[in-house]
Amino acid sequence: MPSSAPAAAGFLAGADLSANAIECARRASPGYLDLTSSNPTHHGLIFPPQVLRTAAEPYWATRRYDPEPRGLPAAREAITRHYLGRIPPLHLQPDHVVITASTSEAYSLLFTLLADPGDNLLAPDVTYPLFEHLAAAHHVALRTYRLDESRGWQIDEASLLARADSHTRAVLIVSPHNPTGMIVQRPIVALDQLGLPVICDEVFADFTYRVPHTPPFAALHPSLPVFMLNGISKMFALPDLKLGWIAMNAPAAATFGARLEILNDLYLGANSLTQAMLPALFANSLEFTAVMHQRIRASLDMALAMLAGCPTLRVRPPDGGYYLFARVQGWDDEEALVLHLLARGVLVHPGFFYGCEDGTHIMISCLIAPQTLERGLEIIIEALTP
Ligand SMILES: Cc1ncc(COP(=O)(O)O)c(C=O)c1O
């Protein structure tokens, strides 16, 4: 029977979507320094416009819409060359690459591909907040495995094994991890024991800090079906040009490639212009990415040196990525802590924003323009020094 009651079914139906206390305080605090941003275009990291113009030029002269379900061949070939340049080099077939509009869209396709409603996926217990909503949108459950802070946030293999059941369809891994900066550097025995497909998000792979390289995940686990996700949003600081990809190793492509192609063909989300530009972006981005990586490393150096002087903060140099995830002593209420810092003019994210329930943590993004970052850190250190 038709009802006039509010919708009780569908995505986030019944959820409380009102602003939380931190969001309300943020809206009421003009002029604070935002140390949470992940948006390079807000912090002076601007991919050279001339390289973009030159890369786009041939497209306009020969423009014709020839959609390809896995993405334009030249773009897929450029992506496979990228993996050959990773350390260790990884040889992939262009046909094993599927181009999407973003990494987030890639996740969405893979959730549909791998799981039925009621199934579950294993995800880290601390992670950037995307999986929960994506899983809800796909009617799959997330079961969290533990990252061990005392071992540099490495994956706790016992918890990985304990959390899997007969409905588990894949393991999600983020390496370098957001926000802890952990990079998976060695094969994980528990993954081979589980034998499940692995989705590894490598969007920060080029942003290394404490360790020299991010091994492409399929190089660590060649016999498991592995889907590696990446895109130009972080790699080239081009989140607005909307291009990501799924790179499959041979076991993943053999079992899932044909069905993934049909799924991607349903949407054809990646626009042809950006795909056509991609080979030139890879070829002509070296100077920019070197400057960007250098700036981020210098900001991490500065932040770690400054925070080392604050007796209530403990922060480990990250393996990679551009975030610091610091443990704060003397506070057990993260919301109160973040509000305390905001009242002094600086915004950070609380650990609970990333699902972290053990101890008190704050996240600081070192993508922020260096002067702003320095001033923000001074405020934090002053506010947290007894
Ligand atoms: C680990 C990680 N993966 C993926 C994304 C999103 O990437 P995209 O812009 O390609 O959807 C983000 C965004 O911050 C991220 O932190």
| Residue among 222, 238, 224 at smallest CA distance from 103 | 238
E-strand ranges in 232-339 read 244-248, 313-314, 323-328
DSSP state of 99: E
Q: What is the 103 CA–ligand 1 centroid distance (Å)?
A: 6
Residue nearest to atom 7 of ligand 1 (CA): 103
pLDDT (mean) for 375-385:
97
With a cut of 70, say whether residue 3 has pLDDT above it: no
Q: What is the 230 CA–ligand 1 centroid distance (Å)?
A: 8
> What does the pLDDT look like over 146-197, one tens digit per residue?
999 999 999 999 999 999 999 999 999 999 999 999 999 999 999 999 999 9
Residue with token string 């533990």: 146
Delimit the CATH 3.40.640.10 region(s) of the chain: 49-283
Give me the DSSP letters along 45-93. ----HHHHHHHHHHHHHS------TT--HHHHHHHHHHHHTSSS-----
What is the model's pLDDT at position 305?
A: 98
With a cut of 60, say whether residue 43 has pLDDT above it: yes
Is the CB–ligand 1 distance for residue 209 below 6 Å? no
What is the model's pLDDT at position 4?
A: 54
Q: What are phi and psi of 148, to 5 degrees?
A: -100, 105
Is the CB–ligand 1 distance for residue 239 below 6 Å? yes
What is the model's pLDDT at position 300?
A: 98
**Cβ atoms within 10 A of the Cβ of 196, count?**
18
Query: How does strand 346-347 pair with strand 198-201?
Result: unpaired
Q: Is 151 helix (H, G, I), strand (E, B) or coil?
A: helix
DSSP state of 312: T
With a cut of 90, say whether residue 87 has pLDDT above it: yes
Structure tokens at 350: 């609380």
pLDDT (mean) for 203-227:
98
Is the CB–ligand 1 distance for residue 203 below 6 Å? yes
Select the CATH number that applies to the domain covering 49-283 from these four: 3.30.70.100, 3.40.640.10, 2.40.10.10, 3.30.450.20: 3.40.640.10
Delimit the CATH 3.90.1150.10 region(s) of the chain: 21-46+287-384
Residue nearest to atom 1 of ligand 1 (CA): 178
Is the CB–ligand 1 distance for residue 179 below 6 Å? no
Q: How confident is the model at residue 55 (pLDDT cuts 50, 70, 90)?
A: very high
> What does the pLDDT look like over 11-36, one tens digit per residue?
999 999 999 999 999 999 989 999 99
Is the CB–ligand 1 distance for residue 174 below 6 Å? yes
Domain 21-46+287-384, CATH class in plain words = alpha beta
Q: Is 306:381 a contact under the CB 8 Å cutoff?
A: yes
Is the CB–ligand 1 distance for residue 233 below 6 Å? yes
Q: What is the 203 CA–ligand 1 centroid distance (Å)?
A: 6
> What does the pLDDT look like over 258-275, one tens digit per residue?
999 999 999 999 999 999
More confident: 128 or 74: 74
What is the model's pLDDT at position 6?
A: 61
Top mutation candidate among 36, 39, 128, 180 for ligand 1, by most atoms within 8 Å of CB: 128
> What does the pLDDT look like over 295-323, one tens digit per residue?
999 999 999 999 999 999 999 999 999 99
What is the model's pLDDT at position 8?
A: 85
With a cut of 80, say whether residue 2 has pLDDT above it: no
Q: Is 247 helix (H, G, I), strand (E, B) or coil?
A: strand
